[in-house]
């Protein structure tokens, strides 16, 4: 595979510097070599290659969207992804939740002294490949090295800029009674994939993270003229947090059918074993859309045309204007309140 050929060897001479040193963040020759040989080679494009203190670029006409996020996942490699690809996917997805077309990313690396140079190269190549697949360019960045024991390997911060080429106002405040709630796919895999690796858990089937970009699904929904009122990606806090945040912002009651929410059997079993609710577990490639009732079926068809959202489902409706509330009706017809998680169930998963 092409990716394997490109990532076979780190361009920094490992015989000289097999690990990141404090001097790699000191502004001198070693830092210059690190920036040029690792980041410069992987992310090369005309805007970045200018090597200026700030990137200068043009954007198409339209409103701009901007977002920033930091990634501190442990471990940095996990089934289905790694901190590098997740940093790109997460930022691209945040832009997509406004209906924006992602254009450019910045990235800042906070590296712990002693990180193997080969590990850094693998992460950087993963970011490069993810950016190419998403059609975005990494055009500026920064590198810092912190003392051994102060950084847990590697942290990444990314900022994204996208252009909104439509007139829609996609926001929680625009949710209306009667809207249908669509979830883009099965829930809980990212959190369980991280937990399995971190704790050395063995399940009958391998659970891989759902980390993936979703901007192409959103772009088709917009292009098709679907009346989108709100989009929200399901990261920390999962579906439960996202629904409660929207209900509070819009002043509505949201009613969800538990049997309609897609959760794989192995993920459900893993959550049961660990005492977790899959509706509160983080995802990295899932989102919900609240669209006008008349567009629900058409929107679902669009979701299912994309691999990342092939098992999307309509899971509920906005019941009406009311005190903010999310309810979940079980398979036997009993209803309960679906609360936002009170704390962090799984630390360091994104």
Residue 159 to residue 108: CA distance in whole angstroms: 9
Q: What is the pLDDT of residues 307-341, one digit of tens each?
A: 999 999 999 999 989 899 999 999 898 999 999 88
Q: Find the mean pLDDT for residues 179-207.
A: 89
CB 286 within 8 A of CB 210: yes
Q: Residue 37 is encoded by which pair of tokens?
A: 């040989």
CA atoms of 113 and 277, how far apart (whole Å)? 37
Fold annotation for 2-164: 60s Ribosomal Protein L30; Chain: A; (3.30.1330)
pLDDT digits (tens, 9 = 90+) for 129-177: 999 999 999 999 999 999 999 888 999 999 999 999 999 999 999 999 9
Tell me the DSSP string of 75-118: SSEETTEEHHHHHHHHHHHHHHTTTPEEEEEEEEEEEETT-BHH
- With a CB cutoff of 8 Å and minimum separation 6, the contacts of 189 are 80, 207, 208, 209, 210, 264, 267, 283
Which top CATH class is 172-337?
Answer: alpha beta
Domain boundaries, the chain: 2-164, 172-337
- Is there a common fold for 2-164 and 172-337? no
Please give the model's pTM, rounded to 2 decimal places: 0.93
Q: How many residues does the chain have?
A: 350
Angle among Cα 137, 238, 262 to the nearest 5 degrees reads: 100
Rounded Cα distance, 87 and 71, in Å: 6
């Amino acid at each position: 595979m092409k990716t394997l050929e490109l990532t076979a060897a780190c361009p920094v001479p490992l015989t000289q510097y097999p690990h990141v040193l404090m001097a790699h963040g000191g502004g001198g020759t070693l830092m210059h070599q690190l920036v040029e040989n690792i980041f410069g080679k992987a992310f090369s494009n005309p805007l970045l290659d200018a090597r200026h203190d700030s990137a200068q670029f043009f954007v198409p006409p339209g409103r701009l969207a901007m977002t920033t996020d930091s990634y501190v996942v442990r471990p940095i490699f996990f089934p289905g992804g790694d901190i590098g690809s997740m940093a790109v996917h997460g930022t691209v997805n945040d832009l997509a939740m406004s209906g924006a077309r992602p254009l450019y990313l910045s990235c800042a690396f906070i590296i712990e002294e002693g990180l193997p140079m080969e590990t850094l190269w693998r992460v950087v190549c993963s970011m490069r490949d993810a950016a190419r697949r998403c059609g975005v360019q990494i055009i500026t960045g920064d590198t810092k090295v912190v003392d051994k024991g102060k950084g847990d390997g590697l942290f990444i911060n990314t900022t994204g800029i996208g252009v909104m080429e439509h007139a829609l106002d996609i926001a929680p405040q625009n949710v209306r009674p009667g809207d249908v709630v669509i979830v883009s796919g099965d829930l809980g895999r990212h959190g369980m994939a991280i937990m399995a690796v971190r704790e050395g858990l063995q399940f009958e089937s391998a659970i891989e993270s759902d980390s993936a970009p979703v901007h192409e699904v959103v772009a088709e929904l917009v292009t098709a003229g679907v009346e989108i009122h709100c989009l929200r990606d399901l990261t920390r806090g999962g579906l439960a947090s996202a629904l409660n945040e929207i209900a509070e912002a819009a002043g509505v009651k949201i009613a969800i059918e538990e049997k309609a929410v897609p959760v794989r059997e192995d993920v459900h079993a893993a959550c049961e074993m660990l005492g977790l609710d899959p509706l509160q577990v983080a995802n990295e490639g899932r989102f919900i859309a609240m669209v006008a009732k008349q567009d629900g079926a058409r929107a679902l068809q669009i979701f299912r045309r994309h691999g990342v959202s092939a098992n999307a489902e309509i899971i509920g409706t906005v019941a009406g204007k009311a005190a903010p509330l999310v309810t979940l009706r079980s398979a036997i017809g009993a209803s309960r309140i679906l609360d936002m998680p009170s704390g962090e169930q799984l630390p360091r998963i994104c």
